Amino acid sequence: MFSSLTKLADKNFVIGFLLPALLGVLLFGWVAPKSLVGEWAQHLGEKTPTEYAYLAVVIYVISLFLMIANYSLYRLLEGYIPPTSWLAGRREKHRRRAGNLLREYVALRGRWTALTNLEKTRAARLRRALIRDYPIPHDMLEAAIIDQKALEAIRLLPTMFGNRILSFEYYAWAIYRADPITVWPRLQVVLPASLRDDLNSEQAVLNLLLNGLLIAAGITCFGLLELGSVAWSLRHDIYQLTLALRVDAPPMPEQTHFVPLLRPTLMSAAGAVASVVSYYWAVAQVPRWGDQVKTAFDCYLPTLQKQLGYSATNTEKATREFWEQVSGMTRERFPLHIRDKDPEASKGGKEEPETQKQCEKKNAEGGKEGETAGGERRAEEESDETNDSKPGTEGNNGEVEGADYLTEDAARCNDQAP
């Protein structure tokens, strides 16, 4: 348990959560100067070391809260939970965009030989955009005619952020029939430290952008609340101004009354712009993270297969069948129906069956017994010759019996050998 505490102070935690928390506290002190944080920010040079320690604890606690809320933040921006999941119109908009891109690409690919270099470049960009932004099946990209029902059956999300993540998640299923949601935690067990570091680094940058989006949205909301409060306090002046504008009266002499509206207005506008920039920056960062995830599936699925106790498959059909069954097991608890269970696969090699070893051991013991029996028979023949008796055939029979024993064992070994 205590060894995991070091992960709360590593580089990825500092970039993804601690830095946004520090930035959020400083910005809150600027937008709310009358708050406790604002007063601390105004007298920052006069604080004692104990007060600095309290501030550090507060920032660290906020960073822990951001880490805990990270999963829900991803789900919200992907479009799985309300209110973004209610945006059915955005989902249909993405479906129309995907259909338009696909139709244009199919039309260009249908007359590929007659295309100019500029049109071929356009077709290549369309294909990359479809693969990057949407989980489009390969057979739909290669079809001569677009199947509208198949296009409508494609699962899409209301946000571009969610569709880009869904696209690289679909890669594992399209290529290997591996469910990325349930197989990924198991795949992480066999990944080398270098690849895990690359994955965590890319996700740390993404976490920084998403937490920055959260802080910017908070500043926008705070600015709107302050704007509403100031506007309510100036409601009589605003009403007089609207009346003056309606009757074309001369300007009101006291224009300074509306200056307090300027600060919350600029605050709200700056927060909204920062939110939009952070969101689209995060959308652009998703493919970099997705490339690392796809690399993990491409390079280490066979390692995971051996870790599960099965020998690695060499054909595409066998690989897809295996991972489809494993996906069903992890997702729906379906039992595996795979017969090539190899208990030694996870150790990196396959040893000889035990029956073969027993046969060879028995074979060697039989040879020794045959040689011993032959030697005893020869000693008896020499003794009989000394006594002028007729040589017997027991020694020869003993040798033949030993040879027959070896032959039978060899046959049994060959029959039992895999």
Does residue 213 surpass a pLDDT of 90? Answer: yes
Q: What is the pLDDT of residue 352?
A: 40
Q: What is the pLDDT of residue 386?
A: 45
Check residue 8 and report its DSSP letter.
Answer: G
| Alpha-carbon radius of gyration of the chain | 38
Q: What would you measure as the largest C-alpha separation in the chain, in angstroms?
A: 156
Q: What is the pLDDT of residue 234?
A: 74
Long-range contacts of the stretch 186-194 (C-beta < 8 A, 24+): 186/304, 186/308, 186/330, 187/296, 187/297, 187/300, 187/301, 187/304, 188/296, 189/304, 189/307, 190/300, 190/303, 190/304, 190/307, 191/296, 191/300
Whether omega for the bond prior to residue 83 falls within 30 degrees of 0, making it cis, is yes
> What does the pLDDT look like over 385-418, one tens digit per residue?
444 433 333 343 333 333 332 333 333 333 433 3
Q: What is the pLDDT of residue 249?
A: 54
Most confident of 112-126, 234-248, 325-339: 112-126
Most confident of 193-197, 308-312, 341-345: 193-197
Instruction: Name the pLDDT band for 342 (thresholds 50, 70, 90).
Output: low
Q: Which residues of 70-90 are buried (b: 16+ CB within 10 A; e: fewer)?
A: beeebebbbbeeeebbeeeeb
Does residue 108 surpass a pLDDT of 60? Answer: yes
Q: What is the pLDDT of residue 260?
A: 77
> What does the pLDDT look like over 58-83, one tens digit per residue?
899 999 999 999 999 999 999 999 99
Q: What is the pLDDT of residue 96?
A: 94
| pTM of this structure | 0.74
> What does the pLDDT look like over 37-51, one tens digit per residue?
667 766 666 777 887
Task: Render 114-170 in DSSP notation, one character per residue.
Answer: G--HHHHHHHHHHHHHHHHHS---HHHHH-SS--HHHHHHS---SSHHHHHHHHHHH
Round to whole Å and give the CA distance between 277 and 285: 12
Mean pLDDT of 374-378: 48
CB atoms within 10 A of CB 264: 20
Q: Which of 17, 121, 126, 99 is nearest to 61 (CA)?
A: 17
Instruction: Name the pLDDT band for 143 (thresholds 50, 70, 90).
Output: confident
Q: What is the pLDDT of residue 205?
A: 96
Mean pLDDT of 180-204: 94
Q: What is the pLDDT of residue 406?
A: 33
- Residue whose entry in the numeric block shows the structure tokens 């994955």: 199
Does residue 252 surpass a pLDDT of 70? Answer: no
More confident residue, 400 or 299: 299
Instruction: Name the pLDDT band for 186 (thresholds 50, 70, 90).
Output: very high
The number of C-alpha atoms within 13 Å of 91 and in the hemisphere containing its C-beta is 16
